[in-house]
């Protein structure tokens, strides 16, 4: 994948799409490349997008939060970011529309990486959806439309952290749309997470698809 060691990934294309379909990169949370991620890619493909989700944990599937923290802490940041950039390039190749902007949907650590990638590749990323992932960056390079989904009760992302990210985006001229889902906890949008909330997930997903379609000009 574009100058980094090959990594496993899920790639799903819409049944009705030919070359040129819009691409969406899916970046997993600290649970790794789970069946939930495959379901997300399938939902995107059913909605008309080409979806690619790289395995950033090298096949590891943490069994609990402690193991997830350990796996996340063991990642090499340089390798991780190279893999994410390479996955974005691979997705563009897969769509057959190398110059078309892509969307990025990320969960937890993947949401943080989605925001980072949009700053790293402002000419490539046209839409970001972050699920309970924040970043404290200079967002001046960012050109993507940003949507955020956050939990009301979150032990991993504080209200101050969320507000600071939103403020930084605003200072950079990006009118991000952040939604706090009542009664939810960190991980609410992932079926395999103990905090999964199906109702909030459905609401967030409808908004996610609408955001991607509008930002990427996808039917």
Asked, for residue 4, whether it belongs to a domain, the answer is no
pLDDT score of 2: 40
**Which pLDDT belongs to residue 6?**
58
pLDDT value for 219: 63
Please count the structural domains in the chain. 1
The DSSP-derived string for 170-206 is HHTT---EEEEEEEEETTTT-TTSTT--HHHHHHHHH
In a domain? residue 60: yes
The CA-to-CA distance between both ends of the chain, in Å, stands at: 29
Is 1 within the bounds of a domain?
A: no
Contacts of 138 (CB under 8 A, 6+ apart): 119, 168, 172
- In this structure, what token pair is assigned to residue 171? 């200072």
pLDDT digits (tens, 9 = 90+) for 98-157: 778 999 999 999 999 999 999 999 999 999 999 999 999 999 999 999 999 999 999 999
CB contact at 8 A, 115 and 84: no
Q: Are 193 and 30 in contact (CB under 8 A)?
A: no
Q: Give the whole-angstrom CA distance, residue 141 versus residue 158.
A: 25
Q: What is the reported pLDDT for 11?
A: 95
Higher pLDDT, 74 or 118: 118
Question: Is 182 within a domain?
Answer: yes
Read off the tokens for 151: 């939990």
How does the average pLDDT of the chain come out, rounded?
91
DSSP-assigned letter for residue 56:
T
pTM metric for this prediction: 0.93
Whose CA is closest to 179, among 154, 158, 162, 196?
Answer: 162
CATH of the domain at 37: 3.40.50.1820
Question: Does some domain include residue 3?
Answer: no
Assigned domain for 2 exists: no
Strand partners, 50: 23
Task: Name the more confident of 45 and 74.
Answer: 45
Could you tell me if residue 174 is inside a domain? yes
Q: Which domain holds residue 73?
A: 9-216
In a domain, 67, yes or no: yes
| Residue of 120, 99, 84 whose CA lies nearest to 3 | 84
Asked if residue 88 lies in contact with residue 124, where contact means CB atoms within 8 angstroms, the answer is yes
Q: Is 137 helix (H, G, I), strand (E, B) or coil?
A: coil
Distance CA 42, CA 51 (A): 8
Contacts of 92 (CB under 8 A, 6+ apart): 23, 98, 100, 102, 124
């Amino acid at each position: 994948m574009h100058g980094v060691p090959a990594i496993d990934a899920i790639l799903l294309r819409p049944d009705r799409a030919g070359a040129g379909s819009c691409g969406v990169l899916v970046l997993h949370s600290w649970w790794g490349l789970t069946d939930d991620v495959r379901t997300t890619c399938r939902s995107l493909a059913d909605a008309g997008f080409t979806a690619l989700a790289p395995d950033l944990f090298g096949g590891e599937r943490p069994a609990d939060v402690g193991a997830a923290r350990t796996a996340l802490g063991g990642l090499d940041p340089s390798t991780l970011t190279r893999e994410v950039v390479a996955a974005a390039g691979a997705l563009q190749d897969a769509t057959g529309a190398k110059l078309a902007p892509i969307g990025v949907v990320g969960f937890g650590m993947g949401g943080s990486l989605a925001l980072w990638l949009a700053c790293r590749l402002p000419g490539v990323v046209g839409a970001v959806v972050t699920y309970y992932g924040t970043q404290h960056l200079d967002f001046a390079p960012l050109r993507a439309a940003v949507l955020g989904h956050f939990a009301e009760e979150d032990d991993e992302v504080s209200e101050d952290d969320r507000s600071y990210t939103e403020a930084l985006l605003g200072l950079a001229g990006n009118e991000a749309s952040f939604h706090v889902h009542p009664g939810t906890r960190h991980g609410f949008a992932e079926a395999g997470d103990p905090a999964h909330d199906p109702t909030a997930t459905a609401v967030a997903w409808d908004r996610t698809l609408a955001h991607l379609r509008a930002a990427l000009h996808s039917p």
